[in-house]
Structure formats: structure tokens, C-alpha cells
Amino acid sequence: MKLSCRCGQVQGEFNPARSYTRATCYCADCRAFARWLGGDGLLDAAGGSDIVAMAPDGLRFTQGLDQLACMSLGPRGLLRWYARCCRTPLGNVPRNPKLYYLGLPVAAIAESEAAVTACCGAQGHTTISPESATAAVNPTRGALLAGTLRIVSRLASARLRGRRNALLFAADGQPIRAPQVLSLEQRRALADG
């Protein structure tokens, strides 16, 4: 499946066979990241971010690597990748490259919703942090448990095989772009009002 930032400078491919599950995350950090990016359409009506949880090797950038940028909401937070050119979110990863996980925002998948649903499941099927939503959402305890077990089992398997995120980390374990880490004041300015 095709991947693209909004302006088209960053292009890539996403392999649905490497996906773990599709989820909508309602946590305050995902909302803060969307606010920081300043992009309309990055959150659903209840403040959720639509992501595909996947193995990092299922994503490949084919153009525009010079536009790839990284930020973090704090010194220990996730590394949140985006296209500097148009501030499209491109992925969230743990700071440790040995945790073989990438959260791919559906906003970066340049395919129809029907195509994404066919390969990764429907939006809202699995909800993360529904208690933090800005409007009522249905908690999906069973789907969340199943998705979490799928992710944990694949993370454990990757760890046993010595896999590491080589897409966004250099051989020395450092991110390929130095993250911009927000200050406490900057994070507070992005908090829900």
C-alpha cells in the first residue's frame, strides 16, 4: 500500500502483512502531537488518533527522507516522526530500537478507507484510552485485549530473534534524526483545555 505525506514530498510503502492491529488511541499525548503538528483531520470527532500497530520492517520510505523529522513530548516519551515539509505524522516508536514496534498513523496511508479496512480492520474496532476521549466512545475491552496480546507476542518474538528497528535508528541505537524534545511549558500549552 502507498504511503505519502500531505504534500507528496515524502513517499513510501506499507506492507499490511507486517501489521499487528489497527487501533484508535484517545490518549492526551496523541492529541497533543496532533495539536503540535497543527493539522486538521488528524483526530476523529472524539479526539482519537487512528493508527496501525506494526513491525518497523513493514514500512519503507522511497522518497523524501531529507524531510523526515522527529519530536518527543518529553525526555522519555515516544519518538514521533513526521514530514517536516507539511507536518504529516508518519510514525510513533519507542525510544529503544529493540522494541520492534511502529505505530503508523492512517493519515499517512495514501489509500482509500475501504482498502485500509480490508487489510487492517475498521477504524474504532479497537480503542486505547477511551476514558480520555473528548466525547463518548465505546470501550472495546475484548478487541483491546486481543490486539495487545498480538502486539506483545510479536514484540517477544522479534526480541528473541534479535530484531531491532533499523528503519528509524542508526546502528549505534540513536534515532536517525535528533528529536526535538518539548519543554514542560510547551507540553502544557498543548494540553486539553
Domain 2-188 has CATH 3.30.420.40: no
Residue 48 C-alpha cell reads as 482519537
Are 132 and 26 in contact by the 8 Å Cβ rule? The answer is: yes
Edge-to-edge strands of the sheet including 180-181?
127-128, 19-25, 49-54, 102-105, 88-93, 79-83, 68-72, 180-181
Q: What is the pLDDT of residues 49-96, one digit of tens each?
A: 999 999 999 999 999 999 999 999 999 999 999 999 999 999 999 999
List the domain boundaries for the chain.
2-188
Q: What is the pLDDT of residues 94-139, one digit of tens each?
A: 999 999 999 999 999 999 999 999 998 888 778 889 999 999 998 8
Of residues 17, 35, 11, 5, the one with CA closest to residue 105? 5
DSSP letter for 120, please: H
How many residues are there in the chain?
A: 193
Kindly indicate the confidence band of residue 193, based on its pLDDT and cuts at 50, 70 and 90.
low
